[in-house]
């Protein structure tokens, strides 16, 4: 939960409409950091957050804002981008090796990524989360990773097409 003074909204220019399906809070925090505005955490605050179950479509929608933040902020979220690409490549290599009939190789390629996801799930379980829900939630994150890569590709392809058509129009004059 965020409590924001009106002046801060004016300083950073409000919420970016590019983050229309999520990630607006993350974008806003990165904007505050960019303007060297301190973010204060109050551990005594009590917040009620209604937890809902996410559908596969919801997980797909989580990938686009992460990709947009990587595009907008570049190096600031580089660690997140590297993690997403690591998991995505692990998943693709796993599927390729599996399709080639290399069962052992496929699991060897996928194991580091899977262990990282399961470690995060186990940390949640240790804090009292439901076992099945935590495991499924972290395995569904691979959908977020695929959506992330698709959004990055969509952005750069549309940018390339726009530049190419602009170049063609100017060269014909």
What does 122-155 look like in DSSP terms, one character per residue? HHHHHTT--HHHHHHHHHHHHHHHHHHHHHHHHH
pTM of the model: 0.69
Q: How much is the pLDDT for 160? A: 92
Whether residues 27 and 109 fall in one domain: no
Whether residues 77 and 122 fall in one domain: yes
Task: Decide which of 49 and 24 is more confident.
Answer: 24
Whether residues 142 and 58 fall in one domain: yes
Whether residues 81 and 148 fall in one domain: yes
pLDDT tens digit sequence for 37-71: 888 777 787 777 666 667 778 888 888 887 888 88
Q: How much is the pLDDT for 2? A: 64
Residues spanned by the domain of 45: 1-50
- Can you tell me the distance from the alpha carbon of 171 to that of 43, in angstroms, rounded to the nearest whole number? 60
Whether residues 114 and 154 fall in one domain: yes
- Residue whose C-alpha is closest to residue 65's, from 9, 34, 24: 24
Number of folded domains that form the chain: 2
């Amino acid at each position: 939960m965020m409590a924001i003074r009106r002046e801060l909204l004016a300083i950073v220019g409000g919420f970016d409409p590019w983050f229309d399906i999520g990630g607006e809070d993350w974008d806003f925090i990165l904007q505050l950091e960019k303007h060297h505005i301190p973010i204060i955490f109050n551990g005594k605050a009590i917040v009620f957050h209604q937890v809902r179950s996410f559908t596969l479509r919801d997980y797909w929608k989580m990938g686009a804002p992460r990709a947009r933040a990587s595009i907008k902020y570049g190096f600031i979220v580089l660690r997140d981008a590297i993690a997403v690409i690591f998991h995505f490549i692990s998943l693709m290599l796993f599927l390729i090796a599996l399709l080639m009939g290399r069962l052992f190789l496929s699991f060897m390629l996928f194991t580091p990524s899977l262990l990282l996801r399961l470690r995060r799930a186990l940390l949640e379980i240790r804090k009292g989360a439901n076992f099945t829900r935590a495991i499924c939630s972290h395995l569904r994150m691979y959908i977020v990773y695929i959506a992330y890569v698709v959004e990055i590709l969509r952005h750069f392809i549309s940018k390339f097409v726009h530049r190419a058509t602009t170049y063609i129009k100017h060269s014909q004059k």
